[in-house]
């Protein structure tokens, strides 16, 4: 039995060796038999390759999508950063335009009155133990700013310098309840005192009752000796209501202050004024109404039909 098995093993080995030598010989001679074998093998393997491609293609696509997602997120973050920079630039541009407009306005007012001024930016809002409504500006003694100097905007009176530091100053606003300024009524020249009320409105008290106040009257600063703390002619506000109580010794009126204290960014300190009082030269000009065009339509009678 063992000899029979050994013989079959030897025959199989010999057959394989002979077959291998035959195939090698045929391949070296260029016989196309092996090509058929290869094609057959490829035919058998192809379905498995196709199935493998279908199975592993989503995996490849997944990793491609993950990579692309990372790039997309990076681009989104970059766009967000650029958008924020553009938004901030726009805000800065608007602020700069606003400050430029305020500076032009205050220079126009100072030029009309021939005041010598030092421009300043508002750097903070604040209060002290003595004053409840103040601002700090970035101009001080080194710029010629001294205590008891008038502070203005293009709309009118802002307040007065109370403390001057080397490079900044503290300004008491005209809205402060402790603020007082000598005033006069444009036109009639009646004199009185305007007091701050902690709001955008002040109260005017005339020193006599000879002339009747009326709504719309413009109130100007009367000026102080040596022009400190107040230079003459600066617009203060406009009368909005009058209290003419019967038998009252004086008249009082509500005054809407011209300066907009909520939007102050640029102001000017008057460091010198002309010898001549500008009188009513700084009274705000009433806006000229824009004419509304009218169109007249003329009806043209139609011809009567001929009989």
Pick from 100-109, 173-182, 222-231: least confident:
100-109
What is the per-residue DSSP string for 248-280? -SS-EEEEEESS-GGG--EEEEEEE--SS--TT
198 C-beta neighbours (distance < 10 Å), count: 14
Query: Which pLDDT score, from 0 to 100, does residue 175 have?
Result: 95
Q: For the residues 9-17, what does the mean pLDDT come to? A: 67
Q: 33 pLDDT exceeds 60?
A: no
Q: Which two tokens stand for residue 218?
A: 């413009």
Cβ contact 162:149 at 8 Å: no
Q: Where are the domains of the chain?
A: 32-113, 118-272
Query: Which pLDDT score, from 0 to 100, does residue 257 have?
Result: 97
Nearest one of 159, 201, 154, 199 to 180, comparing CA atoms: 159
Give me the CATH topology for the region 118-272: Thrombin, subunit H (2.40.10)
pLDDT digits (tens, 9 = 90+) for 67-102: 666 677 777 877 778 777 777 777 767 767 777 888
CA distance 142 to 120: 13
Q: For the residues 55-73, what does the mean pLDDT come to? A: 62
Q: 24 pLDDT exceeds 70?
A: no
Q: 132 pLDDT exceeds 80?
A: yes
Average pLDDT, the chain: 79
Query: Which pLDDT score, from 0 to 100, does residue 50 have?
Result: 58
Query: Which pLDDT score, from 0 to 100, does residue 48 have?
Result: 47
pLDDT grade, residue 276 (50/70/90)? confident
- Which residues make Cβ contacts (< 8 Å) with residue 25, sequence separation at least 6? none
Cβ contact 231:222 at 8 Å: no
274 C-beta neighbours (distance < 10 Å), count: 14
pLDDT digits (tens, 9 = 90+) for 194-214: 999 999 999 999 987 777 789
**Mode of pairing for the β-strands spanning 252-257 and 157-164:** unpaired
Query: Which pLDDT score, from 0 to 100, does residue 16 have?
Result: 64
Q: 27 pLDDT exceeds 50?
A: yes
Query: Which pLDDT score, from 0 to 100, does residue 103 have?
Result: 81
């Amino acid at each position: 039995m063992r000899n029979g098995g050994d013989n079959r093993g030897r025959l199989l080995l010999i057959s394989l060796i002979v077959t291998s030598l035959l195939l090698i010989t045929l391949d070296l001679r260029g016989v196309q038999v092996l090509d058929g074998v290869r094609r057959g093998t490829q035919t058998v393997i192809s379905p498995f390759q196709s199935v493998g491609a279908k199975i592993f293609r989503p995996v490849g696509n997944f990793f491609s999508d993950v990579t692309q997602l990372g790039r997309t997120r990076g681009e989104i973050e970059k766009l967000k950063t650029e958008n924020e920079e553009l938004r901030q630039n726009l805000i800065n541009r608007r602020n700069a335009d606003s400050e430029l407009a305020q500076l032009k306005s205050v220079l126009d007012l100072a030029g009309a009155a021939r005041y010598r001024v030092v421009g300043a930016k508002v750097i903070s809002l604040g209060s002290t133990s003595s004053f409840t409504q103040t601002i700090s500006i970035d101009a001080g003694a080194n710029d010629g700013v001294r205590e008891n100097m008038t502070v203005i905007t293009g709309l009118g009176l802002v307040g007065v310098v109370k403390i001057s530091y080397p490079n900044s100053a503290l300004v008491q606003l005209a809205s402060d309840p402790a603020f007082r300024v000598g005033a006069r009524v444009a036109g009639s020249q009646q004199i009185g005192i305007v007091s701050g009320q902690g709001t955008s409105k002040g109260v005017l008290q005339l020193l006599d009752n000879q002339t009747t106040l009326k709504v719309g009257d413009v109130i100007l600063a009367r000026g102080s000796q040596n022009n400190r703390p107040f230079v003459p002619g600066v617009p203060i506000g406009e009368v909005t209501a009058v209290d003419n109580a019967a038998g009252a010794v004086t008249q009082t009126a509500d005054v809407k202050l011209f300066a907009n204290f909520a939007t102050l960014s640029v102001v000017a300190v008057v460091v010198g004024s002309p010898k001549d009082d500008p009188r009513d030269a700084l009274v705000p000009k009433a806006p000229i109404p824009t004419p509304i065009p009218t169109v007249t339509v003329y009806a043209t009678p139609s011809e009567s039909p001929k009989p």
